């Protein structure tokens, strides 16, 4: 049975303390301004205990989401790759602004849904999904590893924003030639080599930036990407086209001529080091964007400006156009799921439709 006890505060205000004591459950106490509210709460707790639906929210009621986010960043995010940890910090800053003052118990599905809708007014569905993913993982870890019981994951109860069909820009051979020509004319060292390698390997820009000569095998013609440095944490080996191999060979000759080699005469360090700091990868984004503008591929139909990450998409698209099977393209690009690779199929289908239209009058020109 519950006990309702009147209390007199320092200023003479009367409050009502509800105490619930039931065998097999920890004691529950809560204070109310009105006796009726105390009785109502006590009866609700007793019903939940009788039906085995009661959850101990003591820990969740005492921890603010702001504090939980701080702990997550310091204990979980720091173990991730630097780029992922940085993304977690950004996501946490937005969650902190809108939900940080709530306790974990107060972060309910309706509040998370409201957060989702407000954020969708400002950022893309993909960005919102990343932020919700962090929040979901935080609740799972809080329950499993931080011993904060009684909580349900509020993110699992709401609808996630739908991701629109991904951008998959294409370039004509003339546009491709203009782009590579502008990259070669650029004052930025390595831009042409970097761009061509992206087109011919399908690597992500960060994978090329972090590429070291120890991962390049020019004799057998392939590069090896280390699992810890790829998005999916999986090692993969990518064969080099003759053009990619030639570009890397020219870069290697330059290092050999400047004696930047190991005792065996093999180039060392990063393939694309930053200017003035050979231990830091070079950032090509700004130089690439300037070359894109000069080449006139900054306003593609349905895609807008060509981005440096689109070099990877172009590689996948042209591989399929040239007859490579879907599974091979998936392995080369390093997609975990083949459904990701299938995004290029609609472009290939359009390419086939355009090709077949060239014989639309085949056999129809019948002479009398």
For the segment 325-338, the average pLDDT, to the nearest whole number, is 87
Do residue 122 and residue 153 come from a single domain?
A: yes
* Average pLDDT of the residues of the chain: 85
Residue 244 has pLDDT above 90, yes or no: yes
State the CATH number of the domain containing residue 185. 1.10.443.10
In a domain, 13, yes or no: yes
Q: Is the pLDDT of residue 1 over 80?
A: no
Collapsing DSSP to helix, strand or coil, 103 comes out as: strand
Q: Side-chain half-sphere of 84: how many Cα atoms within 13 Å?
A: 14
Is the pLDDT assigned to residue 58 strictly greater than 70?
no
The pLDDT of residue 348 is above 80: no
Residue where a domain stops, chosen among 14, 37, 54: 54
Cα–Cα distance between 242 and 337 in angstroms, integer? 29
Same domain for 94 and 177, yes or no, is no
Q: Is 360 or 210 the better-scoring residue by pLDDT? A: 210
Which pLDDT value is given to residue 89?
94
Q: Are residues 84 and 198 in the same domain?
A: no
68 and 47 in a common domain: no
Residues 190, 295, single domain; the answer is: yes
When pLDDT is cut at 50, 70 and 90, the band that residue 365 belongs to is low
Task: Judge contact between 243 and 176, C-beta under 8 A.
Answer: no
Residue 144 lies in a domain: yes
What's the pLDDT score for residue 149? 66
- Calculate mean pLDDT across residues 30-42: 85
Q: Which of 31, 54, 77 is the last residue of a domain?
A: 54
pLDDT class of 114 with cuts at 50, 70, 90: very high
What 24-28 contacts at long range (C-beta under 8 Å, 24+ apart), as own/partner pairs, is 25/49, 25/54, 26/56, 26/58
At residue 368, does pLDDT exceed 60? no
User: Residue 165 falls within a domain, yes or no?
Assistant: no
Report pLDDT digits (tens) over 80-92: 878 789 999 999 9
Decide if pLDDT at 137 tops 90. yes
**Does 366 have pLDDT greater than 80?**
no
Q: How many domains does the chain have?
A: 3
Which three-class secondary structure state does DSSP give residue 309?
Answer: coil
Does 95 score more than 90 pLDDT?
Answer: yes
Answer yes or no: do 187 and 280 share one domain.
yes
Window from 30-34, 186-190, 281-285, 349-353 with minimum mean pLDDT: 349-353
One domain, residues 47 and 67: no
My answer on whether 327 and 200 are in the same domain is yes
Angle (CA) 132 77 156, round 5° = 25
Verify that 225 and 332 share a domain, yes or no. Answer: yes
Residue 138 maps to a domain: yes
Residues 196 and 341 in one domain: yes
Q: What is the pLDDT of residue 232?
A: 61
- The answer to which of 49-53, 67-71, 170-174 has the lowest mean pLDDT is 49-53
Residue 317 contacts by C-beta under 8 Å, 6 or more apart in sequence? 168, 170, 344, 347, 348
Residue 360 maps to a domain? no
CA distance 146 to 3: 32
Q: Using CA atoms, how far apart are residues 223 and 296, in angstroms rounded to an integer?
A: 31
pLDDT band at 143 (very low <50, low <70, confident <90, very high): confident
Least confident of 163-172, 189-198, 204-213, 294-303: 163-172
- Other beta carbons within 10 Å of 112: 23
Listed residues 27, 54, 81: the one ending a domain: 54
Could you tell me which residue, 39 or 260, shows the higher pLDDT? Answer: 39
Calculate what percentage of the chain has a pLDDT beyond 90: 40
Q: Which two tokens stand for residue 149?
A: 């019981």
**Residue 227 shares a structural domain with residue 122:** no
Mean pLDDT for the stretch of residues 283-307: 90
Measured between alpha carbons, how far is residue 67 from residues 70, 74, 287 in Å?
A: 5, 11, 41
Residues 153 and 197 placed together within one structural domain of the fold: no
Contact 167, 313 (CB under 8 A): yes
The CATH number linked to 149 is 1.10.150.130
pLDDT at position 166, please? 64
Phi and psi of 266, rounded to 5°? -95, 135
Tell me what the mean pLDDT of segment 155-161 comes to.
Answer: 91
Domain for residue 362, yes or no?
no
The answer to whether residue 362 scores a pLDDT higher than 70 is no
Distances (CA, A) of 248 to 157, 217, 245: 51, 10, 5
Q: Is residue 364 part of a domain?
A: no
Q: What pLDDT shows up at residue 321?
A: 84
Provide the 10 A C-beta neighbour count for residue 266.
14
**Structure confidence at residue 167 (pLDDT):** 67
> Is 163 among the domain residues?
no
- Residue 108: pLDDT over 80: yes
Query: Coil, strand, or helix at residue 32?
Result: strand
- Spatial neighbors of 132 by CB under 8 A, at least 6 apart, are 112, 116, 155, 158, 160
Range of the domain at 26: 2-54
């Amino acid at each position: 049975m519950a006990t309702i006890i009147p209390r007199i505060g320092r200023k003479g205000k009367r409050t009502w303390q509800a105490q619930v004591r039931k065998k097999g459950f920890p004691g529950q106490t809560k204070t109310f301004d009105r006796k009726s509210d105390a009785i109502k709460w006590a009866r609700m707790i007793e019903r939940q205990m009788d039906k085995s639906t009661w959850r101990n929210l003591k820990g969740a009621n005492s921890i603010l989401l702001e504090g939980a986010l701080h702990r997550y960043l310091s204990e979980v995010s720091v173990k991730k790759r630097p780029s992922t940890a940085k993304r977690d910090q950004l996501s946490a800053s937005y969650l902190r602004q809108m939900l940080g003052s709530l306790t974990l118990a107060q972060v309910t599905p309706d509040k998370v849904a409201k957060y989702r809708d407000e954020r969708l007014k400002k950022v893309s569905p993909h960005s919102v999904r990343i932020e919700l993913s962090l929040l979901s993982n935080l609740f799972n870890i809080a329950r499993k590893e931080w011993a904060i019981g009684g909580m349900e994951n509020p993110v699992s109860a709401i609808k996630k924003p739908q991701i629109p069909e991904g951008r998959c820009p294409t370039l004509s051979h003339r546009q491709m030639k203009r782009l590579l020509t502008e990259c070669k004319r650029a004052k930025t060292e390595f831009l042409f080599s970097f761009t061509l390698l992206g087109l011919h390997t399908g690597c992500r820009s960060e994978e090329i930036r972090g590429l070291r000569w120890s991962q390049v095998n020019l004799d057998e013609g392939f590069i090896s990407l280390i699992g810890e440095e790829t998005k999916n944490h999986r090692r993969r080996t990518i064969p080099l086209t003759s053009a990619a191999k030639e570009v890397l060979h020219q870069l290697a000759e330059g290092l050999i001529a400047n004696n930047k080699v190991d005792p065996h005469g093999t180039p060392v360090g990063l393939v694309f080091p930053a200017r003035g700091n050979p231990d830091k990868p070079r950032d090509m984004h700004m130089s690439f964007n300037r070359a894109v503008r000069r080449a006139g591929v900054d306003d593609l139909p349905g895609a807008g400006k060509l981005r440096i990450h689109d070099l990877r998409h172009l590689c996948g698209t042209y591989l399929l156009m040239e007859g490579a099977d879907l599974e091979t393209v998936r392995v080369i690009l390093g997609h975990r799921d083949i459904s990701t690779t299938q995004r290029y199929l609609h472009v290939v289908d359009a390419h086939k439709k355009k090709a077949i239209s060239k014989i639309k009058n085949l056999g129809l020109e019948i002479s009398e």
